[in-house]
Structure 1
Amino acid sequence: MNHRLLALVVLAVLIGDARASDQRRELEFAEQLQAGTSAGNVVWLNSAGQRFLGIWTEAEKADNTNAVILLHDMGNHPDHQPLIRGLRTSLPEYNWATLAIQLPLREIGAEARDYYGLFDEARGRIQAAVAFLRGNGARNIALVGHGIGAAMAAYTISLEPDALLALAAISLPLPDSTLPQARIGDFLKQIALPFLDIYAEFDLPEVADTARQRRMLAKDNPVYRQVVINGEDHDYSHDPAMVVKRVHGWLTLNLNPN
């Protein structure tokens, strides 16, 4: 093998590794969730030939016409406490079915920039989640994401604006990156759907320090709203119920569920 060909092979391996999700970590989370998840049913979905776990919780006092897909932050899972679990178990009490899905992961210790190469894989999983919800009677579907999950949601909606009805982005970062998947600011300018932008008073710098920039980028969207949760940090561990309340009130106002 000549040096040029060897270099191309090494480059291909490196690129492939940069884009590959850590399926072993996903399986470890899946084992834990199958053994100990309450309030909801574990389901398995498929995207691009790869199975991934979701937790499906039906609306309590209505059919599943109105549903939310929940997207966790980087390195987490679809029952992560307190925020994702709080949303997925509380919204059904307000007649919103929830489907929290496992997003692709990188290795432990990976940084946010390491996740940008997984955005297309995440998009495929969101598409599979939409198909699952449609098959279970959902007509009004919103995306609710936290951190990198919110960025993956914005990326997906910017490419498929007609597939979903609304986006609630919790602690949405504006990364300092030139990678196409990380150009969140460009995505914000394209989104014309009802858009709730929640961030914490003591959030990460790439979230809190860019709040005004996000408002300006979304200024042409008449159904964009930004809300700050005082006294909280990126994990919303002090009062996650306040975030649930904000998301539920916004869903009710913008999508008028039965």
Structure 2
Amino acid sequence: MKKLTLTTWLLTLSLGNVWAEDPPAPETDTAAGSNTVQADVPRVMPTPQQTRIAGLIARLSENDSHEIETLNADGTDFLGLFRESESGDPQGCLVMLHGDHGHPDWPQVIQPLREALPIHSWCTLSIEVPDIGGRATPVTITTGENDGAAPEENPTLPNEETVFARIDAAAQLIRDKGYSQVAYMGYRSGAAYALRYTAERGTTNQALILIEPRSFSPVSEFELAQNIERLRLPVLDYYFNRTPQDERFARQRQAAANKRTNRQEAYTQIDALPDARYDPTGNKRLVQRVWGFLKQNINQQSQRKELPEFEKELFYKSPLD
């Protein structure tokens, strides 16, 4: 036992001498080179929107490349998906704005409408809307308290100027393709942009369709709803009453509509919660609601195609024959 203790002590002393030695200093050139390499390594920044759009273009390029349009607003290119009316008597065209972190062929709401409405004499142009913020961006909660700061008289949505310029470019493309009537539709944050656009532009003689509208800071839901009072065109407000917040926001929009001086233009609010399912049945109801609203509230164009001639000889034989 005594011998083991001595051996252990000697081993400890030996290791202690090794640890006490100063470690060899790295060569200056190697260290500098290492630091240089680290500084020169490019950092890969995630670009989720560009990735979504690139994937969408790759998918559509296989069979539907004719739908892809490259538009430009303020010097920046963006994607549009155009579908021609599939009838001989086109009634107009619908500009479609998807929700935040979506794309112009989003499977919920956007895709069913943009594919089905052309069958009912409406062309569709679904455009790319920039993301409001990254997925890791902290959410700003609007409480109504401003800590003494004066509130903005007319707050704007994030990217509002960019989105307005894109809507202008989309409307111009539609006119260039020969369509005289333009309607606007937005889904969630896209509905907020469409509402703000038509209110700010004083749009008339057209139509606005809001699907499950959502607002974003610095524009509160109440402030967004007040834009409805300024509208001068028919509006379909199609929402899903899932929460008390949804119900409160819907009441605010209806109250603003009730204060409009231009009451002859329709404002139709529908709690479509029973239709809020993303399957063929829910999509069919959505298409019927939107198409029916457009048909009832926009001047229908006269038919361009001639009616087939009635050939009597197919059904009538003269007694002289």
TM-score (norm: length of structure 2)? 0.66
Task: Give, in angstroms, the shift of residue 90 of structure 1.
Answer: 0.3
Cα 1:134–1:112, aligned 2, differ >3 Å: closer, same or farther? farther
Cα distance change on mapping 1:227 and 1:179 into 2, 3 Å: closer
Aligned residues: 233
CA displacement 1:176-214 (0-9 Å, x = unmatched):
x55499831221111121011000132x65433321221
Corresponding residue to 2:187 among 105, 123, 146: 146
Per the alignment, do residues 23 and 143 of structure 1 end up closer, same or farther by CA in structure 2, a change over 3 Å counting?
Answer: farther
**Secondary structure of 2:241's aligned partner:** strand
Letter in 1 for 2:248: D
Q: Which structure is higher in strand share?
A: 1
What does 1:102-141 correspond to in 2, within 5 Å?
102-105=128-131, 106-110=133-137, 116-141=157-182
Is residue 240 of structure 1 aligned with residue 312 of structure 2? Answer: no
Between the aligned residues of both structures, percent identity stands at 27
Which amino acid letter does the alignment assign opposite residue 257 of structure 2? A
Alpha carbons of structure 1 residues 50 and 194: separation in structure 2 relative to 1, 3 Å: same
Matched, 1:229 2:237: no
Which aligned pairs between 1:54-69 and structure 2 lie closer than 5 A? 54-62=80-88, 64=90, 66-69=92-95
1:237 Cα offset (Å): 1.8
SS of the equivalent of 2:227 reads: helix
TM-score in terms of structure 1 length:
0.80
Structure 2 residue matching 1:154: 3-state secondary structure: helix
> Structure 1 residue 25: deviation in Å?
3.1
The answer to whether residue 53 in structure 2 is matched with residue 30 in structure 1 is: yes
Distance 1:48 1:111, change over 3 A: farther
Q: Which shifted more, 55-64 or 189-198? A: 55-64
Higher relative contact order (CA 8 A, sep 6+): 1
Q: 1:56 Cα shift?
A: 0.3
- Gapped regions of structure 1 (runs ≥ 5): 1-21
Contact kept in structure 2, 1:44 and 1:51, CA below 8 Å = yes
Partners of 1:142 and 1:77 lie apart in 2 by 19
Residues 113 and 254 of structure 1: CA distance in aligned 2, closer, same or farther (over 3 Å):
farther
User: What is the aligned-residue RMSD (CA, Å)?
Assistant: 2.8
Matched-pair contact (CA < 8 Å) for 2:203–2:233: no
**Aligned ranges 1:81-230 → 2 under 5 Å:** 81-105=107-131, 106-110=133-137, 116-162=157-203, 165-173=206-214, 179=219, 183-202=223-242, 206-219=245-258, 220=260, 221-222=263-264, 223-230=266-273
SS of the equivalent of 1:132 reads helix
Find the counterpart in structure 1 of residue 313 from structure 2: none
Higher-Rg structure is 2
User: Is contact 1:173-1:207 (8 Å) kept?
Assistant: no
Q: Does structure 1 conserve the Cα–Cα contact (< 8 Å) formed by 2:226 and 2:253? A: no
- Whether the aligned pair in 1 keeps the contact of 2:205 and 2:298 (CA below 8 Å) is no
